[in-house]
Each structure stands twice: as structure tokens, then as C-alpha cells.
Amino acid sequence: MMRTILLVIGALALGAGAGWFAREAAIPPPPPPPPSDRSTPALDSLDAALLRLRSRLEVLREPTSDQANRLRRPRTPPYSDHLEMADSLGVPPVRSEADLAGHLRAGRLVPLADTEHYTVRILEHSKPFVLPGVLDRLDELGRRFQGALAEAGLPRYRFTITSALRTADLQRDLGRTNRNATAGRSSHEYGASVDIVYTRYDLQPSPADTLDVPFADPEADRAQRLYSRWAADLAGVYDDRLFGALARTLGAMQDEGRLLVLLERELPVFHITLDLPEA
């Protein structure tokens, strides 16, 4: 009798358990939690990287008045020195595209295109060609400039070239609209000079700029893109600091007899000319 009672109780317990599990299964799962307004690892990493970049740009020094003035007249070599140097090193003034083609074939002039160290703007009053020696100096300038930025913990920014080889026609045309352009002969006509604007810098991303984000983070790609974009934009906010680093590098290269440098008065550009003292 007792055995029967126990069997009935056991069966009832089993039934109740099965019913409980069936009820649990029938209850729909709770809705997913609303998207969290808190950060993800990718956004945290982006936030931290941008704060770090901003703080390093903050502490990079603008040029002191001495550092800037030593690249301005009267403390820097006058324009006539640029003209003499260009005349002694450069090609005869280019008169036409046919002239230019001849110099290119002979290797006396070489194309000036974007590199990891600099970008070349759309040119309106000059042509994207220079002496081979100028190209070497620009690469050296870029390496040293980016080296100075790396010492300050900054990414690789590229400086910007806004003028290169001019023909006499282009020089005359420029003279009509730009008071800063020299009347008569220009050192740009020999392929030995370029202008570098000191208010524009582009980011050249490197592996060091990769955010520390788990590969599987769904926001990783977006965060990396935003970092590149904002790091590039910050160069516009802190162009005075990058100008400082560029001015110090150019000053050092002028002291070493690598370049002649003239910080122009009416335009935000460095006019630089290849310097070969032994020439």
C-alpha cells in the first residue's frame, strides 16, 4: 500500500517538474536590453588615442620669435642669394612644354609627386617638376620633420608644397595677381626652388596609429577611420605647433648648408632653394 502511495507521489512530482519546464519554455525570452549609451572598447580606445594626440600637440612648441625671425629677412639670406644659387645649379629657364620634355628626357628635371613625406597641391602657376637634388632635399626634410614629430610622440604628418617649376609666362601671369611674386626672374624658373605652405598638413597613417581594439569589435573599423580623420583635422587646429617643428627643421638644414630658406612676408609659405655650397 505504502509502495503504491510512494509511486503516486513520485509520478505527481515528475508531472509537476515536467509542467514547470514546459511553462519555462513557453515564456518568451526577455527583449534584448536597449543599446547601451556606455562606450565600447573601440570607442574607449579612440577617445584615449585622440586625447593623447591632442595633449602631445598641445605641448609641441610653436616657433619662438627668434626661430621664426632667423628665417625672415634681414636675418636669412636675401632672395638674390636664392636666385644666384638657382642660376648656378638649375636648368636654363624653361620656355615651353617641349623644353620641359627635353629636360625630363635628359634627367635634368624629375616629376614632383606626393610621397610619404609631403603632398603637392594642384598647381596653377607652376609645373610639378624640380631638379633631382631638390627631390633629395625634400625627402630629407620630410624624414627630419617626421622624426621630430615622432620624438614628440606624434604621428607622421606630411607638409605641403604649393609651387615648383615656373616658366617665364607663368611667372608673369602670377606677378599680375600676387604682389609677393618677384618681378622679373624667379628662382622657380630654374627648377631649384619650391614653396612650402606652413598651414596645411596631411596625416600619413602608419602601423603605430592603429588603435588597440579587439579584432572582433564591431566598431573597430569605424573607430580607426574616425581616428585617421580626426587626427588629420587636428593638424588644422594645431598648425602653429607643426609650423614650429617645420621651422626648426628648416632652420637646422639652412645652418648645415642644405637649403636656403626664406619665410615670406605676404603669404604663409617658406620659399626654399637647394643649397650646394661646394657648387
Partner 1 sequence: MPLTTHGGALAALLAVAACADPAPPPSLPPDPTPTVPALAPDTVDVQGVSRAMARIEPAGTGRASGTVRLRDTGVGVRVLAEIEGLSRSGYHGFQVLRGRDCEADPAVHLGAEFAPHGSVYALPGERQAGNLGNIRADRGRGRYDRIDPVLRLDGTASAVGRAIVIRAGRDDATSAGGAAGDVIGCGVFEAGA
Other beta carbons within 10 Å of 254:
19
The minimum distance between CB 123 and partner 1, in angstroms, equals: 4
Among 81, 84, 114, 217, binds partner 1 (CB under 8 A): 114
Q: Three-class SS of residue 69? A: helix
Number of Cα atoms under 13 Å in the Cβ half of residue 167: 12
Smallest distance from the beta carbon of 178 to partner 1, in angstroms? 11
160: which 3 cell numbers? 605641403
Q: Is 257 left (phi over 0), alpha (psi -120 to 50) or beta?
A: left
Whole-angstrom Cα Rg for the chain: 32
Element (H, E) at 44: helix 41-59
Q: 50 or 232: whose CB is closer to partner 1?
A: 232
Our CB check for partner 1 shows the closer of 126 and 254 to be 126
Tell the burial category of 258 from Cβ atoms under 10 Å away from its Cβ (0-12, 13-18, 19+).
Answer: buried
DSSP class per residue in 239-258: HHHHHHHHHHHHHHHHHTTS
Task: Tell me which of 202, 209, 217, 240 binds partner 1, using CB under 8 A.
Answer: 202
In the complex, what is the shortest distance from the CB of residue 259 to partner 1, in angstroms, rounded to a whole number?
22
What is the C-alpha separation between 130 and 90, in angstroms, rounded? 9
CA distance 232 to 104: 34
Non-local CB neighbours of 144 within 8 Å, separated by 6+ positions: 249, 252, 253
Question: Is residue 126 at the binding interface for partner 1, with CB under 8 A as the rule?
Answer: yes
Phi, psi of 135 (to 5 degrees): -60, -40
- Using CB under 8 A, pick the residue from 87, 119, 168, 182 that binds partner 1: 119
Stretch 219-258: interaction string toward partner 1, x if CB under 8 A: ----------------------------------------
Number of residues that bind partner 1 (CB under 8 A): 18
Task: For the CB of residue 129, give the shortest distance to partner 1 in the complex, in Å.
Answer: 9
**Is 269 strand, coil or helix?**
strand
191 touches partner 1 by CB under 8 A: no
205 scored as a contact of partner 1 (CB under 8 A): yes
Residue 133 binds partner 1 (CB under 8 A): no
Contact pattern for partner 1 over residues 170 through 189, marking x by CB under 8 A: -------x------------
Stretch that binds partner 1, among 64-72, 79-87, 200-208, 213-221 (CB under 8 A): 200-208
User: Which range binds partner 1 by CB under 8 A, 70-78, 83-91, 108-116, 247-255?
Assistant: 108-116
Copy the grid coordinates of residue 249.
627643421
3-state secondary structure of 193: strand
Q: Which is nearer to partner 1, 112 or 260 (CB)?
A: 112
Give the range of 2-10, 38-46, 117-125, 259-267 binding partner 1 by CB under 8 A: 117-125
Q: Cα–Cα distance between 100 and 98 in angstroms, integer? A: 5
C-beta of 92 vs 111, nearer to partner 1: 111
Q: By CB under 8 A, name the binding residues for partner 1.
A: 111-114, 119-128, 177, 202, 204-205
